Amino acid sequence: MSAKTSLVWTGVIFLLHTLGLALLFVPMTGLFNSQPVIEQDWGLHFHHLKSMEAFWSQDGRLWGYNPLFMAGYPSNTIQDLSIKLFEVLALLLSVLKLDVTQAFKLTAFMATAAVPWMMFFAARNLFTREPPVPLVATVLGTAYWWDAYPREMFFSGMIGFPLSAYFSLVIISLFYRIVRAERDLTPAHWGWLAAAIVLLPLHLQTVLILAPAAAGIPLPQVIGMDRGRRIGVLLGQSDLALASFYAPRR
């Protein structure tokens, strides 16, 4: 299979995934209008979003004292950390005359729709000479989203962590390319820098997912492990980190 064919099929998977994601909104127009989704955690997210909008319009700050929530205490400091990236993006997009609620839904939707591409580019960074591998990774990663916990979390409004788990694979793959690079500055360096800016606002636990893999990537380089085993170690460490967060808790 050629790299071009793999890219085309990934595009098809992306379109199907995006369509399926849009169909989760009933009616589908709910994705585009300015009405909030009130299912489970979504309602809490929209409350914090509106309070952030009020703080910004009144004082030019993203935080403040909110007497309308939990009898009143400082809001938007450490509250709802898994959604801060989308809150800030929604506020920025309001400059384009979009309602913040509408912008919030659209940014969360588009980020989740990008799951197939995250898998594709992460796998391509790790397996540059094997064109079928990115497509296989895309299929498996997208199927996992629909068949496992991430879809349920999206429905419940827990958006940040599933995305951070997928996004972590992209960051790990960029770090892997940086370690193997012969030049001091490559596109992987710039990509990693951009990803690092998004990392913490997306979800703080991403750091814990990344730490084992980031610590292990340079080690095989030192001990002379071959490429296949090196990637195996990397993926094994990542799987352990992901499993530790997805494991059922009581």
E strand or H helix at 207, and its extent? helix 206-216
Contact between 97 and 88 under an 8 Å Cβ cutoff? The reply is: no
Token reading at 89: 């993006």
Token reading at 184: 């001091």
Q: What percent of the chain has pLDDT over 90?
A: 12
Token reading at 94: 């309001």
**How many beta carbons lie within 10 A of that of residue 116, not counting itself?**
26
CA-CA-CA-CA dihedral for 177, 183, 187, 191, to nearest 10: 60
Confidence band of 70 (pLDDT split at 50, 70, 90): low
Min mean pLDDT across 53-67, 74-88, 139-153 is at 74-88
For residue range 80-101, list pLDDT tens digits in order.
667 888 888 888 888 787 788 8
Residue 166 CB-density burial (10 A; 0-12 exposed, 13-18 middle, 19+ buried) = buried
Token reading at 243: 């499993």
Q: Domain limits of the chain?
A: 3-24+113-246, 28-110
